[in-house]
A and B are shown apart, each in its own frame.
Chain A
């Protein structure tokens, strides 16, 4: 088995591109969870975001409109999650399960209903006039990579250094106290959920428009769940979240790369499946050894009912 810096470079670029959807989704979810609302339906939001992005881009011929379509989808489903879990004081986990179930069914159902094809649209990967890319010696790097870095720094700054971020954290730690000092708990939570879901929708749009060039019914491929893992892995810190997304992006990039190495295939056939499990195992190990629930917002997952 030969190893050279060329393939390392290629893996790195692929991994950085893989990092993007996990990073965007995880950072958005960190923000929402800091306000006390967990959304395990991110996987589903990513999926419907990818779908509507293609729908919009296909009909307008503009990939950037497609990206906006993904964000709007995220906002729409975020609003549904917020209405159920914040306004109706429903169960956040059950609502998230509903989102995932709905999305798994909706995308192939609507793909067939609208375009009369099953599973994949457009049938052949389509270049939507491509989102601008940075050229490197190995593979094109998406502009979303620096954008993700920017988003991570921005959300870290918002949470740690601004008054609004302080209000968000107070809402997730101790909603009664936050309410007592005049913070509108419900409004803060709804906005945080919307922001988190919008980023998940954008991540889905990035996948369908920028990476794949089509929408498939399994385009999100567990990334929403990896993002949830990243949130815990990162101890709810957006900067660490970016690093976690990079680590998990690398494990996906490595899995893709290893699948094509004959020498390794002969020693452990289908090793790429085991590599794909790494993010989840890593998260369990990290939470078991280091974090536990120490950094989790105290009121996470609990609807706030004013006494």
Chain B
């Protein structure tokens, strides 16, 4: 259960090629599926593209979708760098969003409300990731098992929290909305806020931590070779803890960005319907971005574009869930890098 980490210039080129190949396989396979069901795949993909990059409004929607995805992608990417398979972003994202809404009940002036929301969401996300660390570090429980369980606990616990503590007094289908002065300021009206810059800033911060600080070096060293770093005097528990905490913070911030920084109702629907799948889609973003914080920005925009374009394909009588079909196919292709190498060696 270890994902490959590229290194060096040729490594970067070949991982770029692998990502492009995976995206190609995803579109090709989905195109075949569309054709089988009697839909025109070329038209469908054209509308998908038009809906995501066709004009300024669509581009802003793409970037708005990308903002939380970039943050949940970091959770998985940081985990892989430390040799972990942390798939807990999904549940942590719900927890962060709920913490953000809860924190917005405190009214503070001068944008301090937003600061409090971000602190609350990051802290809640970090706290939510601690059980997986403790189980891994002290009981040897694999993080895939523990994070799957934590995701499902969050799914039900946060629905409970929304219904019993955060519900909008005037409506029964969503939580209270975050007040305007505690949201991310609008960048391009009405869809895009400064949340996109915040997400990129967090990516830069994670990049700096992983590659420019001793702590980050230890984290990556443990990920590359846990035994060797143990011999060189690194206690693997500390970098592991930091990887879980940092991953929890980024997913929690992702939840805050979704409710305080995108065009959705600045609240949580009772079934968490506007939150589900951001964590798992983020995982796919990290895979396409080869678990590099900066590449995750590009991959996040790609997946944001898919989400944004989804509503456009509906004109063709295709439901917007086609996007998840494409994403699923892309992930299959990423899962088997062998496939790329086989195709490449055939072509030579």
Residues of A within 8 A of B283 (CB): 97
Q: Taking the complex as formed, is A288 at the interface, i.e. its CB lies under 8 A from any CB of chain B?
A: yes
Is B153 within 8 A of A84, CB to CB? Answer: no
Task: Pick the interface stretch among A87-95, A170-178, A189-197.
Answer: A87-95
CB distance from B38 to the nearest CB of A (A): 8
Candidates A100, A116, A226; contact of B280 at CB < 8 Å: A100
CB distance from A95 to the nearest CB of B (A): 4
Is B1 within 8 A of A222, CB to CB? Answer: no
The proximity string for B residues 19-46 relative to A, scoring 1 for CB distances below 8 Å and 0 otherwise, is 0000000000000000001110000000
A205-230 interface (Cβ within 8 A of B): 217, 222, 225-226, 228-229
A281 to B149, CA, bound (A): 7
Is A293 within 8 A of B321, CB to CB? Answer: no
CB distance from A52 to the nearest CB of B (A): 14
A271 to B202, CA, bound (A): 37
A111 to B153, CA, bound (A): 29
Is A232 within 8 A of B324, CB to CB? Answer: no
Residues of B within 8 A of A187 (CB): none
A279 to B153, CA, bound (A): 9
Is A105 within 8 A of B149, CB to CB? Answer: no
Is A113 within 8 A of B332, CB to CB? Answer: no
Is A112 within 8 A of B319, CB to CB? Answer: yes
B309-342 interface (Cβ within 8 A of A): 317-319, 321-332, 334-339
Residues of A within 8 A of B155 (CB): 222, 277
B179-220 interface (Cβ within 8 A of A): none
Is A109 within 8 A of B280, CB to CB? Answer: no
Is B335 within 8 A of A273, CB to CB? Answer: no
A111 to B318, CA, bound (A): 10
Residues of B within 8 A of A89 (CB): 336, 338
Is A113 within 8 A of B335, CB to CB? Answer: no
Q: Give the secondary structure class of B's interface.
A: helix
Residues of B within 8 A of A90 (CB): 335-339
Q: Taking the complex as formed, is A54 at the interface, i.e. its CB lies under 8 A from any CB of chain B?
A: no
Residues of B within 8 A of A105 (CB): 321-328
Are A88 and B324 CB-contacts (below 8 A) given A97-B280, A277-B156, A277-B157? no
Candidates A84, A114, A283, A292; contact of B140 at CB < 8 Å: A292
Interface residues on A, range: 35 or more
A267-291 interface (Cβ within 8 A of B): 269-270, 273-274, 276-277, 279-281, 283-284, 287-288
Candidates A109, A270, A302; contact of B321 at CB < 8 Å: A109
Q: Give the secondary structure class of A's interface.
A: helix
Candidates A92, A93, A226, A232; contact of B87 at CB < 8 Å: A93
A263 to B224, CA, bound (A): 56
Q: Taking the complex as formed, is A98 at the interface, i.e. its CB lies under 8 A from any CB of chain B?
A: yes
A56-84 interface (Cβ within 8 A of B): 80, 83-84
Is B336 within 8 A of A84, CB to CB? Answer: yes
Residues of A within 8 A of B87 (CB): 93, 97
Is A109 within 8 A of B325, CB to CB? Answer: yes
Are A274 and B336 CB-contacts (below 8 A) given A105-B324, A293-B142? no
CB distance from B45 to the nearest CB of A (A): 15
Interface residues on B, range: 35 or more
Residues of A within 8 A of B322 (CB): 105, 109
Are A94 and B148 CB-contacts (below 8 A) given A269-B164, A273-B156, A293-B142? no
Are A287 and B135 CB-contacts (below 8 A) given A104-B277, A269-B164, A281-B153? yes
Residues of B within 8 A of A273 (CB): 156-157, 159-160, 163
A228 to B151, CA, bound (A): 13
A98-141 interface (Cβ within 8 A of B): 98-114, 116, 118
Residues of A within 8 A of B164 (CB): 269-270
Are A101 and B327 CB-contacts (below 8 A) given A40-B148, A287-B141, A293-B142? yes
Are A280 and B149 CB-contacts (below 8 A) given A97-B331, A104-B277? yes
Residues of A within 8 A of B39 (CB): 113
A110 to B159, CA, bound (A): 28
Candidates B3, B152, B280, B327; contact of A277 at CB < 8 Å: B152
Q: Taking the complex as formed, is A12 at the interface, i.e. its CB lies under 8 A from any CB of chain B?
A: no
Residues of A within 8 A of B281 (CB): 101
Which chain A residue lies CB-closest to B336? Answer: A90
Residues of A within 8 A of B153 (CB): 277, 280-281, 284
Candidates B135, B146, B325, B335; contact of A85 at CB < 8 Å: B335
Are A98 and B37 CB-contacts (below 8 A) given A106-B325, A108-B321, A274-B157? no
CB distance from B108 to the nearest CB of A (A): 30
Residues of B within 8 A of A109 (CB): 318-319, 321-322, 324-325
Which chain B residue lies CB-closest to A270? Answer: B163
Is A225 within 8 A of B37, CB to CB? Answer: no
A300 to B338, CA, bound (A): 20
CB distance from A91 to the nearest CB of B (A): 5
Residues of A within 8 A of B301 (CB): none
A106 to B277, CA, bound (A): 14
- Can you sample 18 A-B contacts with CB below 8 Å? A38-B144, A91-B3, A94-B287, A95-B331, A98-B331, A101-B324, A101-B331, A104-B324, A113-B39, A113-B318, A229-B145, A269-B163, A270-B160, A273-B160, A274-B160, A279-B152, A281-B153, A302-B1
- Told that A95-B336, A228-B148 touch, could you supply 20 new A-B pairs with CB distance under 8 A? A84-B335, A88-B336, A90-B338, A91-B1, A91-B335, A97-B87, A99-B332, A101-B280, A102-B324, A104-B324, A105-B321, A105-B326, A111-B319, A112-B321, A113-B38, A116-B317, A222-B155, A232-B145, A273-B159, A281-B149
Ranked 9 nearest A-B pairs via Cβ: A105-B324, A102-B328, A90-B336, A98-B331, A101-B328, A94-B335, A88-B336, A277-B156, A95-B335
